[in-house]
């Protein structure tokens, strides 16, 4: 029998306060959390469908009781725990070398204190990445980064997000990257830096050829229009991945299993009008569909198994691509 190709599933464990902060809602300062509602559902879904993936955890949450419990539960379930920054600011590409070191170190310490191994993978909030970040990750011994989203839809997603956000923060004008991201690789590759150390980039997969996102929020936005359309869209993306030899790295979020009443203040976010039970059913179907055609692993294992990798990409082009 032919061994199925590799796919990975990762969860960005973003919390309610982080979404409100990016959107400019002052309520974020209370640090509201929806992790107690989301984490048990996600663990149950992953267990039901036999998915052992990677959880990208935010340091400011992991230092708190609910975040520490979440990390401990995912680690106990065999999931890899990776670094998703400390403050979850999607303008991470503006950070200095020293600021980036602090972001990574504080989150590393929190993850280890919660009972998980020291992280070897990183994802920037809002797909934010820079040459300085690649350098710091390399210096700190990380094996891989997973911060890129190779799509042309970044400016459109930014416009959709900012149309309901209060004015005043110019950093939101840089969210989600520029049209040039469509030219970024859609499969794993190495960053070419001055250092001899090797850092692998594992992009969040977009639909081959069309280069449109296929992670939960986008599928849910289509689901609001037509459940059948949403399922066909996702299934088509997986068929194209198989046909073109792309090992998909798929992304989910807590909002993929939460209804609007469980995430107050997030009415602006795609898919929040979909009832909880329909969200849970859709994500379960997505996980089952991936498992039917691929061997599903976490992002760290994905990086290990897909070698040899594609061509190198010059890190110097990163800071010009937003």
Query: Is 60 exceeded by the pLDDT of residue 322?
Result: no
DSSP string of 125-137? GGG---HHHHHHH
User: Residue 192, SS3?
Assistant: strand
In this prediction, residue 311 has a pLDDT band, given cuts at 50, 70 and 90, of low
CA distance 129 to 123: 8
Cβ pair 179, 154 in contact under 8 A: yes
What phi and psi values does residue 8 have, to the nearest 5 degrees? -125, 155
pLDDT at residue number 286:
98
| Average per-residue pLDDT for the chain | 92
Contact 33, 273 (CB under 8 A): no
Task: Classify residue 125: in a domain, yes or no.
Answer: yes
Is residue 169 over pLDDT 80? no
**Pairing label, strands 313-314, 189-192:** parallel
Least Cα distance to 238 among 229, 251, 247 occurs for 247
Do the domain assignments include residue 71?
yes
CB 93 within 8 A of CB 103: no
In a domain, 42, yes or no: yes
Q: Is 58 helix (H, G, I), strand (E, B) or coil?
A: coil
Residue 196 confidence (pLDDT) above 80: no
Over residues 84-127, the pLDDT tens digits come to 999 999 999 999 999 999 999 999 999 999 999 999 999 999 99
d(CA 193, CA 146): 17
CB 252 within 8 A of CB 283: yes
Answer yes or no: are the C-beta atoms of 179 and 322 closer than 8 Å.
no
pLDDT tens digits, residue range 54-71? 999 999 999 999 999 999
Tell me whether residue 78 is in a domain. Answer: yes
pTM of the entire predicted model? 0.95
Nearest to 46, CA basis, from 256, 284, 289, 295: 284
Number of domains in the chain: 1
Which of the 8 DSSP states describes residue 119?
A: P
pLDDT in tens, 275-297: 999 999 999 999 999 999 999 99
Does any domain span residue 234?
yes
Residue 131 within a domain: yes
Domain, as residue range, for 42: 6-320
Integer Cα distance of 150 and 132 in angstroms: 20
The CATH number for 114's domain is 3.20.20.370
Q: DSSP character for 27?
A: G
Q: Is 1 within a domain?
A: no
User: How far apart are the C-alpha atoms of 271 and 223, rounded to whole Å?
Assistant: 8
Does residue 49 sit within a domain?
Answer: yes
Helix orientation angle between 227-244 and 216-225, rounded to the nearest 10 degrees: 140
The helix (H) or strand (E) run that includes residue 35 is helix 35-48
């Amino acid at each position: 029998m032919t061994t199925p190709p590799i796919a990975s599933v990762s969860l960005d464990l973003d919390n309610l306060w982080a979404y409100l902060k990016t959107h400019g809602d002052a309520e974020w300062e209370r640090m509201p959390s929806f992790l107690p509602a989301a984490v048990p559902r996600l663990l149950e879904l992953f267990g039901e469908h036999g998915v052992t993936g990677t959880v990208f955890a935010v340091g400011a949450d992991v230092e708190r009781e609910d975040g520490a419990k979440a990390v401990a539960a995912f680690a106990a379930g065999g999931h890899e725990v990776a670094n998703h920054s400390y403050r979850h600011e999607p303008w991470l590409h503006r950070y200095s070398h020293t600021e980036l070191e602090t972001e990574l170190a504080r989150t590393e310490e929190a993850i280890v204190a919660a009972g998980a191994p020291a992280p070897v993978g990183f994802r920037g909030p809002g797909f934010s990445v820079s040459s300085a970040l690649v350098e710091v990750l390399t210096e700190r011994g990380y094996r891989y980064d997973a911060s890129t989203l190779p799509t042309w839809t970044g400016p459109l997603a930014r416009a959709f997000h900012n149309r309901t956000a209060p004015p005043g923060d110019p950093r939101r004008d840089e969210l989600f990257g520029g049209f040039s991201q469509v030219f970024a690789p859609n499969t794993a590759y190495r960053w070419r830096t001055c250092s001899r150390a090797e850092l692998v980039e594992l992009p969040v997969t977009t639909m081959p050829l069309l280069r449109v996102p296929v992670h939960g929020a986008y599928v849910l936005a289509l689901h609001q229009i037509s459940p059948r359309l949403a399922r066909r869209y996702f299934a088509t993306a997986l068929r194209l991945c198989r046909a073109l030899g792309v090992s998909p790295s798929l992304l989910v979020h807590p909002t993929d299993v939460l209804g609007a009443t469980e995430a107050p203040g997030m009415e602006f976010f795609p898919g929040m009008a979909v009832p909880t039970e329909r969200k849970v059913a859709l994500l379960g179907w997505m996980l089952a569909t991936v498992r039917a055609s691929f061997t599903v692993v976490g992002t760290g294992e994905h990086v290990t198994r897909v070698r040899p990798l594609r061509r190198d990409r010059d890190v110097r082009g990163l800071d010009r691509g937003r």
